Structure formats: C-alpha cells, structure tokens
Amino acid sequence: MAAQEDTAAVAVVAAATAAAATAKRKTVTDRIGWRGFLKFLFVVAALVLFGAVYFKNFGDDTQLKYTIVFLIGGLLGLTEILGRYTDSPMAAIKSPGALIYVLVNAFGSVAALYLLAEFAPNAVSSAVSQVLLAGVGAMAFLRSSVFKAKVGTEEVSIGPAIILDTLLKFADAQVDRGRAEDRAAGIAEVIQSLPLAQAAVDLPRLCFALMQNLQLDVRQRVLDDITLVVTDTKRSEQVKVMEVGLVLWSRVGIGTLTGAITLLQNKVAMAQLSQQPAHPIVPPRPQGSPQDLLPEIERQLALDRQAGV
C-alpha cells in the first residue's frame, strides 16, 4: 500500500516536472516568426532605398559594380552557411563566425573583380558579365591551386586557394564552435531525463510523424546514426540519450525535437502512472568486464583453427 502511494507520488512529481518543462520549453524554437521576418524585410528595404538614393546622386558605375559583386559574394557565403548548419540555420547566421565567413566570401568576390579589371580589362567587356563572373566565379578562382604539395599525410594546395581555404576554415570553425556551445547548453535541458528506450525508438518516430516532408533517405540516415549511437559499447546511457537528441536536432530542428519530447514526456508520465516500464532496446551489460571473456575466446580460436576452416 505504502509502495503504491510512493509510486503514485513519483508519477505525479514526474508529471508536474514534465508540465513545468513544457511551459519552460515553449520558447525554444528556430522558426522564423512574422515579427522577425517583417523586421528583416524592413531592414533590407531601407538598405536598398539608401543604396538607390546614394548611387543615383553620388555613385558611379564602378562603385555600383563593386557593391553588387560584394553582395553576390556575401550571398553565396550566406547560402553555404544555411546549407551546412541544418540544425538551426538562423542561429548559425547570427553568429560572429558566420559574419566572418560571409565577409571573406564577399571580399573574395571583390578581389576577383579587381584582378579582372586590372589584368584582363578587355577579356569581358559587358559590366553585367564582369559582375557575374567576379561574383560567382570568384570562389572557383580563389579556390584554385597551381599544384598540390604533400605535407605529412595531407595534401596542401599551393596557390590562391591556400589563403581563402585557411580563412574559410577559420570562419567555419568559429560558426561550428558557436553552434556547439549553443547545442551543449540546450540539449541537456531539452532532452531532460528521457529513458534511452523512448529516446531511441519513440522520439525519432514522433519527430518523423510531426515533420511532413522529411525525405526517406534523410530518415534512413537519422535512423542509422541513432542505431550507431545506441549500439555503441563504450558510451554511457546518458551520453547515448543526449547524442540521439543531437542527431535529431540536426535533422528536424530544435522546435520539432522539443515538441516531440514534450509529447513523449507526457506519455512517459502516464506510463509511470500505469506502471508500464519502457522496454530496454539493448540488453543489460553482464557482470565483470570484456577482458574476462578473453581466455575463453583464445581457447575457442585455437580450437576452431585446429578443426580447420
């Protein structure tokens, strides 16, 4: 009787914790809201207006060309960041590292236009073609190399690529580290104390069900990654749960993940009330250590060799 009361009390506390977590997590999202979008549109419209007024009154064609090339280069860098950090592209864009990445790309395009104008002024006569060639082609040119030298086991490009590659790698690492800090701060709070069985089986299913257009190959890749995490013999259970959360965060975004966990934790609380434990998806580890099995394995290997293959 006392044990039943204890279980009920634990379940009620769990339900209350889940409800509190739900209320707290409602703010965690990476969706672009109307307010933010309108603010962005306003800023862009103001910049375009300012640019139009400036170039009409004070600017010349050369300045306009360099400005457009700068924008094209920056836009290319921006799209690269958007494609690379699928967990939360908006958060990635807002980081200082992303600004460096975008600026490196933008100035790369400007440098390409300058080189084009200085060394081959007659190669491309049309201003529009020059802008497009420098804007889009800059990354290709600045990533080219005269030859590749082998330093240790790594091949190093010798040419314009060495400068741009190093700068881009630096900026990319800055964005990646920024995202890592955000994810480290967020994942423990988001995933809470979800059991591994729920995190590895129910959570991905629920995320896939919530997303309507997640491609089949992406789903398969997510499931493969989760399988690799869950069946790893060296990771602890808590680390596995967090890694499953991180894998899902990268593919479905923090908003979907948080929503799915909230649904699941309500379900977990209900399961606790009805005393239905989650089924383990990996068998419990035996007593002792793997080293204890070695003498028997050595004997069996010798035996099998004697028997002949």
Residue 294 beta carbon to other proteins: minimum distance, rounded to whole angstroms: 5
For other proteins, the closer of residues 152 and 284 by Cβ is 284
Residue 154: which H helix or E strand, with range? strand 154-158
Residue 232 beta carbon to other proteins: minimum distance, rounded to whole angstroms: 8
Q: Contact residues for other proteins (CB under 8 A)?
A: 84, 86, 176, 220-221, 223-225, 227-233, 247, 250, 281-283, 285-286, 289-294, 297-298, 300-301, 303-307, 309
One DSSP character per residue, 187-243 reads HHHHHTT--HHIIIIIHHHHHHHH-SS--HHHHHHHHHHHHHHHT-SSS-HHHHHHH
Coil vs helix vs strand at 153:
coil
**Cα-based distances in Å from 49 to 15, 61, 228, 309:** 54, 17, 52, 80
Residue 245 beta carbon to other proteins: minimum distance, rounded to whole angstroms: 12
Nearest in space to 167 (alpha carbons), one of 68, 99, 114: 99
Distance CA 230, CA 244 (A): 8
For other proteins, the closer of residues 150 and 305 by Cβ is 305
For other proteins, the closer of residues 181 and 304 by Cβ is 304
For other proteins, the closer of residues 125 and 306 by Cβ is 306
**Residue 132 neighbours by CB distance under 10 Å:** 15
Residue 284 beta carbon to other proteins: minimum distance, rounded to whole angstroms: 8
Residue 285 beta carbon to other proteins: minimum distance, rounded to whole angstroms: 6
For other proteins, the closer of residues 25 and 179 by Cβ is 179
